[in-house]
Amino acid sequence: MSGHAGAEPSVRPATIVTPIACTPLPDIAGKSITTAVVHFPPNAYTPKHRHPGSVTAYVLSGTIQSQIAGESAETYSAGQTWFEPTGAVHSFAHNISFTEDADLLAIFVADTNCGPLTIFD
């Protein structure tokens, strides 16, 4: 179903990010850990972006296809994870289902300011 990954994003549902917590890391000066749930309605799409810190994504439900620039697109189901290094270009992420929701838990380690987690290019 990777054919619809390149579909015009403006006609596809967007993801919904719900921050859970942002906590300074006491053993790493100037850094904090932020957790957020990213909800992908059916056929939802996130366009090219990057993050100001490292991210680990853990798929809670559904199936999400994701691509980091320079790598092949990968498909992840509930219980699977992927890692994005600081500043890596995330080409896209999308829910491959047209009928089922998908959710992931995003865990960010970034500068201690709890500012924007996503930078769209």
| Tokens describing residue 36 | 């957020």
Whether pLDDT at 7 is above 80: no
Amino acid residing at 55: V
Report DSSP state, residue 113: T
According to the model, what pLDDT value does residue 9 have? 52
Output the CA–CA distances (angstroms, integers) from residue 74 to 24, 35, 39, in the order listed: 32, 22, 18
Length of the chain: 121
Predicted confidence (pLDDT) per residue in 56-99, tens digit: 999 999 999 999 999 999 999 999 999 999 989 999 999 999 99
Domains and CATH numbers, the chain: 2-120 (2.60.120.10)
Whether pLDDT at 3 is above 60: no
pTM: 0.86
Tell the residue number behind the tokens 């090219």, with chain if given. 48
Q: Distance between CA atoms of 15 and 94, rounded to whole angstroms?
A: 9
